[in-house]
Amino acid sequence: MSKVKGLSPETISAQALNHIDAATGGLSPAIYPSSTYVRDENYQLINSRHSYGRAENPGYAVAEKVLAELEGAPAALLFSSGTAAAMAIVQSLRPGDQMVAPKIMYWGLRNWLVKFCDNWGLGLDLFDAADPDALVNTVKKGKTKLVWIETPCNPSWDVIDIAAAADIAHRAGARLAVDSTVATPVLTQPIKYGADIVVHSATKYLNGHCDIIAGAVVTAKEDEFWERVCELRTDGGAILGSFEAFLLQRGMRTLFLRIRKACESALALAKHFDGHAGVEAVIYPGLPNHPGHELAKRQMDGGFGGMMCIQVKGGADDALNIVKRCKVFTRATSFGGVESLIEHRYSIEGEGSPVPRDWLRLSIGIEFVDDLIADLEQAFE
């Protein structure tokens, strides 16, 4: 790992902490596919840290250390998906505990939370992230053990004040977990604002190439709660494949470049379509008309992210017709890859989704932005 102190996060990410493979001197980290580890004739492990592959993989070290460093944290843990990472946090609560989460957050996780909390004997209260007073009115002092936030919230892009949420959580005796998938450590370091835990769907920007499913949990403190999260990964086996861990550390090397480009293009595209004849509204924290704009300017450093929604004039059919006519944007769910994606979020979430039917969700990639703007322009004609 890097011997130079005080390097910028950008250098840490590009050089992967200057990792050099100890066995070979290789600049690129090794992949360790072994599921089990050998013992000598005295039945001692040849390497005492490794016995069986469900506990951990030596190939995780680079990605975990780089991510911890970028988040300003002592430790990070990779998981088989962002959802598995989130589940480990929630399952570290005890029956009878209460947690709070935003009404609009990643839909798959919110649906799981509602079912799981009911089955597991956990209290769950949902709050309106667009209302700045809602969180303090939802948290129950002494009872709430976990406050879960996502900022910017997918797909409303509401921006939540992490420092205020941390204060509310801590005064109630709860931990604050922040799903920072959309912001990434390039734009926001939640621990700096008082978060206890940071979660990522590494499937998205951290990897950046739409070719793995992965997750990560980052901790501000290696305390008893963190030990439970670590144990749950080993006991539950929600571990990442060795090749996926390799791809993740490789993807993270270009994180800063990709995020900066996505932010720049997203802002240009949002400004272009704000006020467009076919557009009711552009929902993007980088626009001054977004309710979270001022907070985003304070909390997000160097950009507003690559995610936005466009509310199309007309209705669901008009929105779907735009999607149909796109030639450069790819029609697919997910986000955070180098290629731009467009999706009709309501169709993905289905009946009961809080997402309006005339919204399109865009994930802006790293293509030449004029090609993206021209593609949407021709789709609106």
Ligand X SMILES: Cc1ncc(COP(=O)(O)O)c(C=O)c1O
**201 in contact with ligand X (CB under 6 A):** yes
**189 in contact with ligand X (CB under 6 A):** no
Distance CA 107, CA 128 (A): 14
Distance CA 230, CA 60 (A): 14
Q: Which is nearer to ligand X, 144 or 207 (CB)?
A: 207
Structure tokens at 104: 């609009």
In what order do the strands lie in the sheet containing 330-331? 279-283, 307-312, 359-363, 341-343, 330-331
Active site residue 54: yes
Among candidate residues 257, 261, 279, the one with its CA nearest the CA of residue 270: 279
Q: Which is nearer to ligand X, 102 or 375 (CB)?
A: 102
- Among candidate residues 65, 110, 204, 258, the one labeled active-site is 204
- Among candidate residues 106, 193, 284, 346, the one labeled active-site is 106
Q: Which is nearer to ligand X, 82 or 251 (CB)?
A: 82
- CB 182 to ligand X: min, Å: 6
**213 in contact with ligand X (CB under 6 A):** yes
Distance CA 229, CA 86 (A): 10
Of 58, 59, 152, 215, the residue at the interface with ligand X (CB under 6 A) is: 215
Q: Which of residues 144-183 bind ligand X (CB under 6 A)?
A: 150, 154, 179, 181-182
Active site residue 179: yes
Active site residue 43: no
- CB 80 to ligand X: min, Å: 8
Residues 68-97: x where in contact with ligand X by CB under 6 A, - otherwise, as a string: -------------xxx--------------
Contact predicate 214/81, CB 8 Å: yes
Active site residue 32: no
Distance CA 62, CA 74 (A): 14
Task: Map 204-245 to HEC letters.
Answer: CCCCCCCCCCCEEEEECCCCHHHHHHHHHHHHHCCCCCHHHH
Question: What letter would DSSP give residue 190?
Answer: G
Residues 108-137: x where in contact with ligand X by CB under 6 A, - otherwise, as a string: -x----------------------------
Q: Please report the DSSP string for 112-158 in residue order.
A: HHHHHHHHHT-EEEEE-TTSTTHHHHH--TTTEEEEEEESSPTTT--
Q: Which is nearer to ligand X, 85 or 270 (CB)?
A: 85
Residue 242 CB coordination number (10 Å): 18
- CB 180 to ligand X: min, Å: 9
Give first-to-last CA distance, the chain, whole Å.
53
Of 32, 60, 106, 193, the residue at the interface with ligand X (CB under 6 A) is: 106
- Among candidate residues 97, 161, 179, 375, the one labeled active-site is 179
**190 in contact with ligand X (CB under 6 A):** no
Residue 329: is it exposed, middle or buried by C-beta count within 10 angstroms (0-12/13-18/19+)?
Answer: buried
Q: Which is nearer to ligand X, 71 or 375 (CB)?
A: 71
| Contacting residues toward ligand X, per CB under 6 A | 81-83, 106, 109, 150, 154, 179, 181-182, 201, 203, 213, 215
Instruction: Give the residue numbers marked as catalytic.
Output: 54, 106, 179, 204
